[in-house]
Structure 1
Amino acid sequence: MALPPISANSIPLLKDKPYLQPTLLVCFARLSNKSANGSSSYQTIVSDSVYKTSGIVSFPDSVDLQPFTLIQVVQFYFIKASSCFRLVISQANVLGVYPEKIDHTTLIMHRFQLDDEPAAPGPAAQAATTPTPHQQYQQQPGYQQQQQQQQQPGGNVSARGRPAGALNAPPQHGAAGGQTYQPIASISRFLNKWTICGRVTVKSPVKHWSRPDGREGQLFSFNLLDSSGEIRCTAFNETAEYLNQVIAVGKVFSVSRCRVVDAKKQFSGLAHNFEISIDNSSDVVEQDSADSSIPQDSMTFVKYSQLPETEKNTNVDVIGVIRRVEAPVEIVSRAKNRTFIKRDVELVNDELISVILTVWGETVEQFSESSIGSIVAVKSARVGDFGGRSLSVGFASSVLFNPNSPAAERLMTWWKTVGEGASFVSISSDGGGSGGGAGSRVPSNLATRPLCALRDEQIGESGPEVVAVKATVTVVKTDGTLLYAACPNTTTCRGNKVISEAPGQFRCPNCNVVHATPAHRFILPLSMADMTGSIWATSFDNTATLLTGTTADHVEELRTAGDMSFVTYFKNFTFREFNFVLRARLDSLNEEMRVRCHINAVEPVNFRNESLKTLELINQYSL
């Protein structure tokens, strides 16, 4: 495919036309910095075949920028360097290697001087009378007012030293205040003397930290959003205490005189490659929160059906109806000797899928039994693989109850009309857990697949997947491990195994409580088959209880007493046909990777409904 032509004479136009996306040639490239967030910065000389200029280009680490590479500029801005402006290309697309070698030493060097004529070429007389963009910026009232404030003693107040009354000053955002703000998307370590203005979308609680050398401190963070993007702001110790009292979700603040550092993606979950570090000399001032030019939020909700395919530790935005709220649980960290409080909440949506959301710390108090039936939106929820696919509210997450949005209104209407009495498939039911009762029935909207599809379509090999099948149980292994001893406290432990320390003493490693009698739970391997093939699957306590019609405690009593009649419970459902919901995922067994299937839901086949479905298929052929 032929490469597009170079955009001739486009470099001088960039300063006055920031919307341009020219095609330029990289004449020189040298790697200058590799950041921890997976991006690299190059010192470059780019050319439009007539003009050339030096600048900085950012690319992902996967791109090895070489000389004579043709790129299309997507986003760019300028930073002040001594007596001129320097071009910074923050986003570009690599088009290929240009076949012709251009001698860039013969091209005209354009340095974007501060006293240059406008970027668009014109007569010399026009250049003498037309002010440059920088001169126009200096003539703005906001610029002159800012310069006067900086020259007056006490004009700048630090984030730590600013009195509380300063936040009640008249807003300075927008044209009324004459202030010009830098777009958040353009903030980088190469930019000097900037001021941004955005709306707070996430406010984290103050986190206390300690190190082995005895040093302790506090950390506070919040996210700012404008029309160009979103960035994370962090503060420590005294500044963190002050900002925690001032910052509020939904309010608008301007931030300046801060340090820009590489983004810690594991904590922020934002796409921005940088974040802002606020210290006691920074300026954080509240602005007009009613400004309509700043968006209210930036949530992009993910469907629950996409969560099994989402990578672990990914941050996603979700919305759902609270169906169940578990009691708070205290967990003792042996490593740090600290106690943490958590609570599990079941969320459902109109896909008839449920997922477990785990909340920690102060967020636990926001959920209670009275929250059931409410809409909750979670920004930057962390995806985990404990018990299938689950979500957790982390340090960079925010929780919003009953948000005023079309998605929330649609969910509330669905819940009141259909959802409250519906059955759901759980993607969070784990091996030891009860699944919370969700997943005991197979939803009608899940298409039934043949067993051969698991092999032919390689279901589960690229990530956990949920599939519905109709199959007959052919074999139940009763000569191996049928059940295990678990912690009887279902409030604090979800089926954790206990350790037998002595007769009548069973200790739970999770809650560190010794119980006289454990609660037994099924872990039942069985084989199922249809006309296309057979597979092995594992049925845990919630589905095995439905299949056997009894409890694991009763089976253990019979087995301990030597009564072999317990085998009857397993024979009763052998060679019977059921509708199953299977969760398939790739796992390692004896250093061999293979797909393992867990039974998430099961119900007997309703032959009347199956007959009606068959008649519908026959009628489609007009027989």
Structure 2
Amino acid sequence: VIIVLQLEILRTECTLIGSPTIYEVNAPQPKTGSYSDGLGIHGSMISRAEQGVTNIAYSPRQGLLGSSTAARAEHAVKNLPFSGFYGPMQSQNAIYAKMQQLSLNSHKGQRLAVPWAFGFPGNTYGYRVHPLYQQTPPMYMNGGPVTNNEGPAIPIANLNPYLARWTIKGRVTGKTEVRHFGEGKVFSFDLLDAQGDEIRATCFNSLVDQYYDKIVVGNVYLISRASVKPVLRKKANPLNHEHELILDASTSVESCSGDDGSIPLQRYNFRQISEIENLDCSSTVDFLGVVTSVSPSVTIARKNGPEAHKRTIQLKDMSGRSVPITLWGNFCDVEGQLLHSQWESGLNPILAVKGGRISHFNGPSVGTTSSSQLKINPDLPAAEKLRRWYAAEQEDDVYQTIVQINDEDFGTLSQPDLATVVATISFVCSGACCYPACDLMFNGEQCKKRVTADGDWWWCNRCLRRSKTCEYRYHIVCQIHDHTGSTYATVSQKAARDIIGRKAQEFYTIKDAVQNGQEFEKIMQGILGCEYLLKMSIKKVAENGIVVKRVIVEAERLDLSNSRRVLGAIDKLSKDNSSSSVGDIEI
């Protein structure tokens, strides 16, 4: 209910607009009374409200403000018994019309006849009352947020379920295969906009047939009127956006003619391979590395479903670490076969992996999923930098034999020497492979000395303090050998994790805490007899004489197929040289 407290007359006379029909006050009035069509107010009640307004002593200078009659007018309106849905609106029209009549001095005692279509009974001044039941209700999905109606293009980052009108413009950076579930089917594709934000769109059933061939990786599209839903399974959707698009029959997908240079071709968030062991299992990450080996394709028989193809490659980056990447399905047959061909010809291609899934089973590894994306030799500054780094590393690698590092004067008392050896681990001293180390700071660095259990605490004899926690560390001594001889070496923490494939605390739990002998033997059998590329630090130490300490600082398991490739290249070169020699003799 609106109460008018002050009115100001701007004009006392005005010119009539149009040709209204004028009739006298005493002319027959429309039928009044109690209307049952939703008004819920009697005509006599409106008359009393009009009378209350008419009796107000109104002054153009003073108005109603501060007058005692204003309160009476307000009281008259408040006491109207509105019972219908449209009652307050109808009463406002009646009071407002009466007050307007006060200013029509030039037509005093006259009224304007208004057709019935422009108002309900009692609203004789033509102010249209819009019945709410005639308004078109907004469209909601399941009683939730508005999700339809196109609008101007907005950044993907601004998409949310409560935005009514929107259109996004994005490049398709990846598209999954069609997956079947029962009688249904589904596929997804990822969109990237000019701001670098991404979102995933999904099509089900009949929309798969409509859009799968229409959506082309690399093309730019305008999309509107799709449902914006929260991402429920983050493992299945690794993109950073909190929502995803579900296309329906009303969705508009329009291909943009020409290429939009403002939208990048792809977005990566590369992580170092050395970070894998600290990342959660089943999390998805992006990697960029050099392909150092490619295995042949292998067929896997599944219990429920068709056979699967897989291929394993080794990827190495500037952290100096390597990780096996398992390519499944089409990745194995398409990108995997291309990588295998390049590697067989003596090349080491650069591979960008987007959305690889991390696993810690039998050591860190990465596998592709249906939403992963692979790019061979991407045109990226980081890829070119990695290529130069790997070429320089290959030139610096000069292999030594174990006899050489034993006999030659490797290492000094002041500075260690580095040597690279291809050797096999033949024995591991398994007496105390791990130990609990002090995690307190001593002289500005971590203590790392062995601690002993003291109830619920750990006691360090070096720090002379107790700590609630400790850090488990490797202490592995192994024997290595090649075709020239053998020697013993200590394994560093980093190299031990690469060889064992587990963190020190996990290995301690298996060997000492749980004493799972079967699992321990399985790990040992996976190490012994395997060939590694070992980088060793050799230094002489004055301990009861001059002692040579050999420490394995890096360890990379070699793939026998790599040796097969080298032997094949040597054999081909030998045949080419033989053919050239024979040809010279014939000439």
TM range (shorter): 0.3 to 0.5
Q: Going by fraction, where is helix more abundant, 1 or 2?
A: 2
Q: Choose 1 or 2 for highest CA Rg.
A: 2
Q: Going by fraction, where is strand more abundant, 1 or 2?
A: 1
